[in-house]
């Protein structure tokens, strides 16, 4: 699995945000103990932002376009997107994402309402396929707190689950 740049000890409080396709979930923990009262979730995910981007593209081309997976791939991979003969550059797509930033801001504010002002947080770790879309909004509501995003956030949760499963399997086989 991937690692973060910050060492976390049993005395450290940190926040992990999992920005998924349809939901955003967060866990606040002190060491390895979850702080349930400061952990929650919301039905705002990367698909919410991508649907907004698709709506903006549809408005500009005068035709309905709703293939949000293609939009996501083009944004993440910084590629051109061709839609009904119209070519959208990575810069065009980023402008649409910026116009949809209010969605990520709303989610970050909900996290803030649940977690608090973050004065005790050593670090915030953003994972999941939507991490790249939400990180700036998280940084805005938690100025001064270290915010990290893994190199491949789209695969961080599944990589962690695979690593955990392999570890459990090795323990079973060794027993």
pLDDT band at 64 (very low <50, low <70, confident <90, very high): very high
Counting every residue, how long is the chain?
A: 175
H or E segment and range at residue 157: helix 156-174
Structural contact between residues 4 and 148, judged by C-beta atoms closer than 8 angstroms? yes
How far CA 147 is from CA of 38, 84, 95, 162, in Å, comes to 17, 39, 23, 24
Residue 34, classed as helix, strand or coil, is strand
Say how far residue 98 (Cα) sits from the centre of its chain: 15
pLDDT at 136 > cutoff 80: yes
pLDDT at position 159, please? 57
Residue 23, classed as helix, strand or coil, is coil
Q: What is the mean pLDDT of residues 101-127?
A: 97
pLDDT at position 40, please? 97
């Amino acid at each position: 699995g991937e690692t973060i740049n910050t060492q976390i000890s049993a005395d450290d409080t940190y926040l992990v945000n999992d920005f998924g396709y349809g939901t955003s979930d967060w866990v606040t923990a002190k060491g390895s103990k979850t702080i349930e009262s400061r952990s929650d979730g919301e039905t705002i995910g990367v698909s919410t932002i991508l649907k907004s981007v698709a709506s903006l593209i549809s408005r500009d081309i005068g035709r309905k376009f709703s293939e949000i997976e293609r939009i996501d791939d083009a944004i993440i991979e910084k590629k051109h997107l061709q839609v009904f003969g119209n070519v959208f550059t990575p810069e065009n797509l980023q402008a649409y994402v910026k116009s949809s930033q209010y969605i990520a801001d709303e989610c970050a504010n909900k996290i803030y309402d649940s977690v608090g002002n973050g004065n005790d947080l050593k670090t915030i770790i953003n994972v999941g396929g939507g991490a790249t879309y939400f990180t700036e909004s998280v940084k805005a509501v938690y100025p001064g707190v270290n915010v990290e995003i893994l190199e491949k956030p789209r695969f961080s949760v599944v990589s962690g689950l695979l690593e955990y499963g392999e570890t459990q399997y090795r323990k079973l086989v060794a027993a």
